[in-house]
Amino acid sequence: MTKTSTTYNLTSAILAFIFWGGWSFYINSSEHQSGLISGVVQGTISFFMALFMVYAVTKIYNSISSQQLKLLLPAFIVTLVMTIILVSIHSLIQTPHILYTISPSLSMAFVFCIITAKNLKNSSKIS
């Protein structure tokens, strides 16, 4: 089974926390206390989602036999799951600007999933 390195996983998770938590804080900071709460929540979710994405993409990638689907299908599945989770949690904590908060991170998550699948494809050629 092809997999990614621990360094890749942790670096991705830490950067996701900092970047998407910071973005959420910025985009929601005009509302009373919402910026800090949504920033911490988004950062925490992004940290764990980055770890989940790498794991899920790896599992899905390795379970697909079609070379054409290996790059895109994991990204679609993982991004769909992330969308449901993010909308649900941000609705619960009453984030004022949910669409603005999650859209950039979902877009980048999709690209990140494709890059991860591409890395898996390249590492399986080496092995």
The mean pLDDT value for 85-108 works out to 94
Q: Is the pTM for the entire model greater than 0.85? A: no
Stronger pLDDT, 61 or 2, i.e. the higher one? 61
pLDDT at residue number 8: 79
Quote the Cα angle for 65-66-67, to 5°: 110
